[in-house]
Amino acid sequence: MKYLVAFPILIFISCNLSAKTIHKERSIYRNIVITEKNELRCMRFESRQRSISNQACIDLKNKDRLVFEYTQSIMAGLAIKPSPERILIIGLGGGSLPKAFSKILPDTEIVSVEIDPAVAKLAKKYFDYVENDKIKTSIKDGRVYIKRAIKQKQKFDWIILDAFNGDYIPEHLLTKEFLEETKTLLAPNGLLSANTFSGSKLYDYESVTYQSVFDHLKVLRSPTKGNRIIFACKCDEFPEKFVLDELTRNKLLLLGIDLSALIRRLSNEVDWDTSVSPLTDQFSPANLLNR
């Protein structure tokens, strides 16, 4: 399994082998299973593959902790964009990202877009995801949401793409045209973050696609595993020095995240084959490239 979630899977594979199933839900897209083991509750999509792909996990002893490393890494964006007014998250999962953001940035409006209504339902029931006037959920395809939002002349300061954890990659969310649309929806100096694929040919294609739309990229690689977060900004230049808001930093520490350590790992290094062509709506065999 070469999915970007390979990293959390490896960590939890041993304990999840004997994890207890506490709920099963059949949605129009897939079967969703909620499991529990050692005070760790996880949402997973049932698949025939041997490896288990957890979509979301919550630590029942410390519900605010961000269990997956990639969700922690995304928080590095807070150094680049310290006080976003509106955040858009494509792919809700268990809702751990919107929950964390609402803790750190109580005045920020956080909109999550999720295609599967059953996932949103289970996030509320089993993962403490709560909606209010600041935390909103829209049950839609991510691309349709973004196209509509552009039409309504909305703007977001930070867009996070987190819709690629399933067995099947939504290819229309991985094309140049889609990224151009997210760029349009970003406010000036807005930030885009995405957890990306690694360990297959798709790595080169995806990286080049981001490069073709955004002039400036920063990447954050996991120190131990292959996965990587891309940060792209709609700006002339990334800030030379990141401003670390003391309050934000302390709040992150409470969630177990060291912002300064994350920033040190942000890099400009291009380690992909830049000769491949970007993925477009006309050419998007992402699933075939990710073998």
Partner 1 sequence: MCFELLGGKLLAPYFGSSVYVWGSIITVFMLALSIGYLTGGKLSLFNPNLTKYGFIFIASAMSIIPTIYFSEAIMDWVFELVEDPRYGSLLASICLFLVPTVIMGMIAPYSVRILTESKHSSGQTAGFLYFVSTLGSAIGTIVTSFYFVLWMEINQILWLTVSVMFIAGLIALVINFNKSLPSKES
Tally of CB atoms within 10 A around 181: 17
H helix runs in 154-245, sequence order: 176-185, 202-213
Strand pairing partners for 186?
A: 156
- Within 13 Å, how many C-alpha atoms sit on residue 210's CB side? 26
| Residue 241 identity (one-letter amino acid) | K
Q: Give contact residues for partner 1 (rule: CB under 8 A).
A: 28-29, 115, 140-144, 147-148, 151, 170-172, 175, 177-178, 280-285, 288-289
Instruction: Give the residue with the Cβ less far from partner 1, 116 or 157.
Output: 116
52 and 16 in contact (C-beta within 8 Å)?
yes
Q: How far is the CB of 147 from partner 1 (least distance, A)?
A: 7
Instruction: Give the residue with the Cβ less far from partner 1, 121 or 140.
Output: 140
Q: How far is the CB of 49 from partner 1 (least distance, A)?
A: 19
Q: Which of 82, 178, 87 is nearest to 137 (CA)?
A: 87
> Could you identify the residue written with the tokens 């991985």?
174
- Within 13 Å, how many C-alpha atoms sit on residue 111's CB side? 18
Q: How far is the CB of 177 from partner 1 (least distance, A)?
A: 6
Assigned token pair, 287: 């699933």
Instruction: Give the residue with the Cβ less far from partner 1, 155 or 172.
Output: 172
Instruction: Give the residue with the Cβ less far from partner 1, 26 or 264.
Output: 26
Q: How far is the CB of 242 from partner 1 (least distance, A)?
A: 35
Q: How far is the CB of 233 from partner 1 (least distance, A)?
A: 24
User: What letter does residue 19 receive in the DSSP assignment?
Assistant: P
Assigned token pair, 208: 């080049």
Integer Cα distance of 288 and 169 in angstroms:
10
H and E: helices and strands count for the chain: 11, 12
Instruction: Give the residue with the Cβ less far from partner 1, 36 or 204.
Output: 204
Sign of CA dihedral 239, 164, 186, 117: negative
| 157 labelled catalytic | no
Instruction: Give the residue with the Cβ less far from partner 1, 30 or 225.
Output: 30
Q: How far is the CB of 274 from partner 1 (least distance, A)?
A: 20
| Residue 44 identity (one-letter amino acid) | R
**81 three-class SS:** coil
Q: Of residues 64, 162, 245, 281, which has the active-site annotation?
A: 162
Strand pairing partners for 231?
A: 193, 218
**Catalytic sites, residue numbers:** 162
